Structure 1
């Protein structure tokens, strides 16, 4: 009986310490992925994030990069969602390992799967890390993800029992469980992934379609002319969160003290007598400024003609050319100063707005030479640009922009002023103000919820970020 009994004896219990560590690491990575996804949704809704710290330490630049946008377009899930898929698979296989170890079953399929997941995670760290580096910014939460994933890989390869690679007869069960859990996690997150606004459609999706272009020969053409969306229609189309955001922005706008213009406009989009006059100050390397320039580009196409004028002014965050900013290094010209001077020198050019948008589109790779290359790619030659940028007149105009901004107690970029009052730099809010003729107490705003209290000592908008 003893030989027979010994043949039926359960196999030794597999060690579980490594699997427990992998379970904890998988849960931590999943939690961080959920946080990043929530921050991405906040960003797409026009709100501030916790890691938009500076020009170089800024998750938003990475999340809005062309690489991240392509991933979201192709897979239907943002990069943060893919991180959550990985975390859920890691948690699932770790739990499976622990359950099988407790039951006395072979843990090889789960152990092999955990090592495959660790390998996929290490490769992803390399790919996403290079993509983040190429965007010109550091994402702190992404770095946290990389640390957790690499720690997971170290434990999976050294803390689990058995050979590192699956044996020839183990591949079937390994892939069955690993691929099965991965597909289930991906499909479960596909719906919220598709519902997450993309960087490419964030602005356009929140604003009504552009008004039709009228022409003298349009009558009798057989085509119906659709009027632009009214303020009531626009507000009625918004979600509850979007309505709350506009209500909060309107409250800040109403509380702002209107000030007269310090200097006449040098470059104006739209008629000088437009009922809504927008003045904005930007810095070429400020990520929120890039977003604002993109939003304003869309806004110009969406509002009825003659309703709005737009004036662009400069506030480079560099003490070498802006006396309102403390000096932090040598007085050598920086990309911020060069871009500000170049934009001032383009103010007389017919392609000013187009070239300005090109400058901000190239923000991640912008240096002094790239500024000069873009600025001289249109109607202004390189020779004309060089002469203008070094002229006392350009320096005086930059000083004028800085003094003007300081009258509004600028605390960071971008700064947006509508009819003399500070306003949060949000395209939906600006659209609403334009459609209301600049009246923040228009009857249509009665559909909005009460504004939330503003945190003491600051504004809950992008202007509080000193990028």
Structure 2
């Protein structure tokens, strides 16, 4: 009986492995490569946020900067506290962690099905994310080469996960819970680990005027006769000391550092007469600034100056806007980076020079910088010709030798100062940090850096470099 029974019982074959080790190892390696690419893109974003040039800012249409500065990318950053590149890093590390966990469990003989499903779900979550990000990139009107590299890596990983991981491709009814738990807990742990140090990196710019006094100033509201229609210039502003005391500690330190750097500089006489000026020529504070149309810090400065003009008493400040395009095609101080075809930086610089005599110069300039993320040569011309200067007149001016000479004048003027990048701000002949609170404080001090009110500031810290340094050139 016993021998019969033994013959009829089928032999138990060893269970086939859930997936081939090669597929899991491939996912681990590809996850590492994707993580490295995301980290590189994040590093480049930090370069961009500090005003520097990225390696993939090749042309107007092949330009990571436009994609990274898009409204969608900014919204994602605000929502998650990490830029899109940071989220890519979280995803890549999650895939690496799950692949390593799978291999470790395989060696110890533990069940592999939950981790395999979690790995597959994570990979295909990446595919869905790529579809969303690629669609947003297309809407920005530019192609991001490093983003395309990420998309290619995710596509390869999806093929490996779909064809290389054996077993059911969709979890059974009772397997969804463990699979989602493994995938979710891993992603959350990595997200928190990246978020903690990452929150301090590449923050979106603060709202323009955040550290300037409101239009309805404290002194006027105390009187009780403030009129909402009364312009800021007619109200009594805060005293300089009260303004400085009311700043957050970090801004007080920034103003103190900026003041120390400003005091060390030697005033230089103007190298050229003003071509177009906001405010009176005898204002106690004369600001001259140089910008580049694609420089993010220049955009922030233009926005801050637009607010500053509404917050300072009338007649205390004058402003000149000059050009320093970061392109050797029109600026001899820069190296050529491509063909001689017109570039957005050069076109925007010439257009602003040709608008200098227009009554709507300042509003058109602010509109130009407001659309920086989607700016190309045609968009520049549309904006510049949307006001009082017809397009034909604008194009003729931009092509004239006189405009080229003015651009050369701006470049030569800027090179008299020891600056490392745009924006360059000069106040009463001295180089200044492009900080709105510092500029406002100087205006309220009538340009006197030794005003006793500055004594309320903390001592300056050791400043090795300008915190707002821009594109190296």
Tell me which interval the TM-score lies in, with the shorter structure as reference length. Answer: 0.7 to 0.9
Task: Please tell me whether residue 162 in structure 1 is matched to residue 167 in structure 2.
Answer: yes
Residue 439 (structure 2) aligns with: 430
2:91 pairs with one of 86, 96, 102: 86
Helix, strand or coil at the partner of 1:450? coil
Aligned pair in 2 of structure 1 residues 114, 134: CA closer, same or farther (>3 Å)?
Answer: same
Deviates more, 1:355-364 or 1:183-192: 183-192
Aligned pair in 2 of structure 1 residues 175, 434: CA closer, same or farther (>3 Å)?
Answer: same
Aligned pair in 2 of structure 1 residues 151, 251: CA closer, same or farther (>3 Å)?
Answer: farther
Task: Please tell me whether residue 338 in structure 1 is matched to residue 347 in structure 2.
Answer: yes
Q: Find the aligned partners of 2:99 and 2:282 in 1 and give their Cα distance.
A: 67
**How many equivalent residue pairs?**
458
Task: Please tell me whether residue 444 in structure 1 is matched to residue 441 in structure 2.
Answer: no
Helix, strand or coil at the partner of 1:344? helix
Q: Note if contact 1:59-1:141 (Cα within 8 Å) is conserved in structure 2.
A: yes
Aligned pair in 2 of structure 1 residues 23, 244: CA closer, same or farther (>3 Å)?
Answer: farther
Q: Note if contact 1:208-1:229 (Cα within 8 Å) is conserved in structure 2.
A: no
Task: Please tell me whether residue 315 in structure 1 is matched to residue 316 in structure 2.
Answer: no
Helix, strand or coil at the partner of 1:281? strand
Q: Find the aligned partners of 1:340 and 1:375 in 2 and give their Cα distance.
A: 11
Q: Note if contact 1:64-1:199 (Cα within 8 Å) is conserved in structure 2.
A: no
Q: Note if contact 1:210-1:303 (Cα within 8 Å) is conserved in structure 2.
A: no
2:182 pairs with one of 177, 183, 207: 177
| TM-score (norm: length of structure 2) | 0.75
Task: Please tell me whether residue 105 in structure 1 is matched to residue 110 in structure 2.
Answer: yes
Deviates more, 1:297-306 or 1:368-377: 297-306
| 1:259-270 alignment, distance < 5 Å | 259-270=268-279
Deviates more, 1:67-76 or 1:353-362: 67-76
Aligned pair in 2 of structure 1 residues 439, 147: CA closer, same or farther (>3 Å)?
Answer: farther
Q: Note if contact 2:46-2:202 (Cα within 8 Å) is conserved in structure 1.
A: yes
2:76 pairs with one of 66, 71, 80: 71
Q: Find the aligned partners of 2:270 and 2:141 in 1 and give their Cα distance.
A: 36
The alpha-carbon deviation at position 374 of structure 1 amounts to: 1.2
1:212 pairs with one of 216, 222, 230: 216
| 1:17-416 alignment, distance < 5 Å | 18-19=23-24, 22=27, 26=31, 47=50, 51=54, 61-74=66-79, 78-87=83-92, 89-91=94-96, 93-94=98-99, 96-98=101-103, 100-132=105-137, 135=140, 149=154, 152-153=157-158, 155-167=160-172, 170-182=175-187, 199=204, 201-205=206-210, 207-212=211-216, 221=225, 227-228=237-238, 230=240, 233-234=243-244, 237-240=247-250, 246=255, 248-319=257-328, 321-325=330-334, 333-408=342-417, 412-416=421-425
Q: Note if contact 1:14-1:101 (Cα within 8 Å) is conserved in structure 2.
A: no
| TM-score (norm: length of structure 1) | 0.75
Aligned pair in 2 of structure 1 residues 298, 145: CA closer, same or farther (>3 Å)?
Answer: farther
Unaligned segments of structure 1, at least 5 residues: none
Structure 1 residues 330-386: Cα deviation after superposition (integer angstroms, max 9, x where no partner): 766544343223222222222211101122223344344332221121122334434
Q: Find the aligned partners of 2:182 and 2:291 in 1 and give their Cα distance.
A: 52
- Bigger Rg over Cα: 2
CA RMSD in angstroms comes to 4.7
Helix, strand or coil at the partner of 1:407? coil
The alpha-carbon deviation at position 231 of structure 1 amounts to: 5.5
Deviates more, 1:225-234 or 1:312-321: 225-234
The alpha-carbon deviation at position 18 of structure 1 amounts to: 4.7
The alpha-carbon deviation at position 280 of structure 1 amounts to: 1.1
Q: Find the aligned partners of 2:303 and 2:258 in 1 and give their Cα distance.
A: 19
Helix, strand or coil at the partner of 2:289? strand
